[in-house]
């Protein structure tokens, strides 16, 4: 990536089950505050979920919320928050040179279930089917709603990458900036998954849906008694720019995207492949020009399923097992699995480590599963490390998609020119 433009993150907008901005979210991660609550959905009944409580009317009119989708509202909220955080004036930009790249696990299930429910009240008379159904269910809906809200005329689309999609949105934004297609980009992911009963039923049928008497302890990656996934909604969108552009306007810089990789297991519909996961990490490190020992934090994908966590732990050990000083953590233990938003939310929660030097822990590990024991795993209490210079963010998904993104801390030199820490 050294021959390409350097890409940096300059703004973060998010909606999570335990915080509606980066400050709230980070505080929750450092104080052990879970966002998992009791939840009930039609046909399925009572369960647990990560539910967001952001105000959609902060940036949308009521009619736009009614006409659009939950995923669209999350994306609009996150995009506006990211713009405000980045301190940019979109009105002063050429909006045909702004791109929107939103990762999603799936889109359209919620609206289709809603419409079927409504027409069932009328003996399935399709005259009662909403004329808003088609624009609500197209895959590019969340990105499209952002363009409508912010009057962006550049390229905008969604990337379907299962639960790796949040990383894919970030990668796509960086690539489009490096190719010169856009000059400013939004990248990340969103999820409205808790509003479809089908996902809960599906995970239950797989034996992969979490249950626990205490909702806050239901999502417990690496714990010996973990029993499945807690489904969550949420989103995180980053603003990305070329380093030289960010420097020219004196932007706050969260970090530089220095490496990434995406590969496929080609081995099973749902069961992960440790070898391919390890290959993905090694490829991201190679592209970043880094050794495993130079990574400060490995944020794991671990979803709290028995087999998935073991497979990922095996992959992490294979890449980082011999290196002291690499810390490993997990964010789903607080917020559950936000599907297409997972990777973006999990990266966002770790970015403040560049400033405060603190590594948030994996919570709810009462008894570590020996098969999930990895060197450097931070459990239950935050770790003050002094400095953190790089984060490797992992996200994997069904049908064997794997992704890894590496972000480095950027600090000013004596001459005021940004340099990447450790590089």
382 vs 298: CA distance, rounded Å:
15
- CA 242, 243, 244, 249 dihedral sign is positive
User: CA 59 → CA 81, 84, 103, 265, distances in Å?
Assistant: 9, 12, 21, 40
Strand 98-104 to strand 156-160: parallel, antiparallel, or no bridges (unpaired)? Answer: parallel
107 an active-site residue? no
301 tagged catalytic: yes
Among 418, 350, 411, 341, which Cα is nearest to 159's? Answer: 341
The catalytic residue among 52, 78, 163, 372 is 163
* Alpha carbon distance 395, 166 (integer Å): 8
For residue 389, the SS3 value is coil
Q: Assess whether 163 carries a catalytic annotation.
A: yes
Catalytic residue among 107, 212, 337, 360: 337
259 vs 1, 188, 240, 285, 350, CA distance in Å?
7, 16, 15, 6, 17
Please list, in sequence order, all residues whose beta carbon lies within 8 angstroms of the beta carbon of residue 112, skipping any fewer than 6 positions away.
Answer: 133, 137
Rounded distance between C-alpha atoms, residue 347 and residue 407, angstroms: 9
- CA dist., res. 238 & res. 375, Å (int): 30
Which one of 301, 327, 360, 372 is the catalytic residue? 301
CA angle 258, 261, 267 (to 5 degrees): 165
Which residues are part of the catalytic machinery? 163, 301, 337
């Amino acid at each position: 990536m050294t021959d390409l433009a350097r890409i940096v993150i300059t703004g973060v907008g998010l909606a999570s089950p335990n915080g509606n901005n980066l400050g709230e979210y980070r505080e929750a991660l450092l104080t052990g505050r879970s966002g998992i609550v009791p939840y009930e959905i039609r046909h399925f009944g009572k369960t647990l979920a990560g539910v967001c409580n952001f105000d959609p009317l902060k940036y949308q009119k009521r009619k736009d919320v009614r006409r659009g989708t939950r995923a669209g509202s999350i994306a609009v909220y996150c995009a506006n928050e990211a713009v405000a955080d980045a301190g940019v004036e979109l009105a002063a930009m050429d909006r045909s040179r702004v791109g929107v790249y939103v990762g999603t696990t799936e889109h359209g299930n919620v609206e289709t279930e809603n419409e079927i429910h409504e027409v069932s009240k009328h003996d399935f008379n399709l005259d009662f089917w909403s004329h808003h159904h088609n624009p609500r269910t197209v895959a590019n809906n969340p990105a499209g709603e952002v363009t409508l809200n912010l009057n962006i005329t550049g390229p905008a689309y969604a990337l379907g990458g299962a639960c790796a999609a949040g990383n894919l949105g970030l990668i796509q934004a960086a690539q489009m900036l490096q190719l010169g297609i856009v000059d400013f980009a939004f990248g990340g992911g969103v999820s409205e998954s808790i509003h479809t009963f089908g996902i809960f039923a599906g995970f239950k049928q797989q034996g992969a849906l979490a249950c626990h008497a205490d909702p806050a302890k239901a999502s417990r990656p690496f714990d010996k008694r973990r029993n499945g996934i807690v489904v969550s909604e949420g989103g995180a969108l980053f603003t990305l720019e070329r380093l030289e552009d960010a420097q020219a306007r004196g932007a706050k810089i969260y970090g530089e995207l220095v490496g990434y990789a995406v590969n496929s297991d080609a081995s099973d519909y749902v069961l992960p492949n440790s070898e391919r996961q390890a290959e993905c990490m090694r490829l991201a490190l190679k592209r970043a020009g880094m050794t495993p020992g130079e990574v400060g934090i490995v944020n794991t994908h671990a979803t709290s399923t028995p087999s998935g966590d073991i497979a990922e732990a095996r992959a992490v050990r294979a890449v980082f097992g011999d290196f002291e000083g690499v810390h490993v953590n997990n964010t789903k233990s607080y917020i559950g699995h936000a599907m297409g938003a997972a990777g973006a939310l999990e990266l966002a929660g770790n970015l403040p480590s560049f400033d405060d030097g603190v590594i948030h822990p994996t919570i709810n590990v009462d008894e570590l599963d020996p098969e999930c024991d990895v060197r450097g795993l931070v459990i239950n209490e935050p770790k003050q490390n002094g400095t953190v210079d790089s984060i490797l963010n992992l996200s994997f998904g069904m049908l064997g998609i794997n992704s890894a993104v590496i972000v480095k801390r950027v600090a000013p030199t004596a001459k005021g020119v940004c340099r990447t820490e450790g590089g």
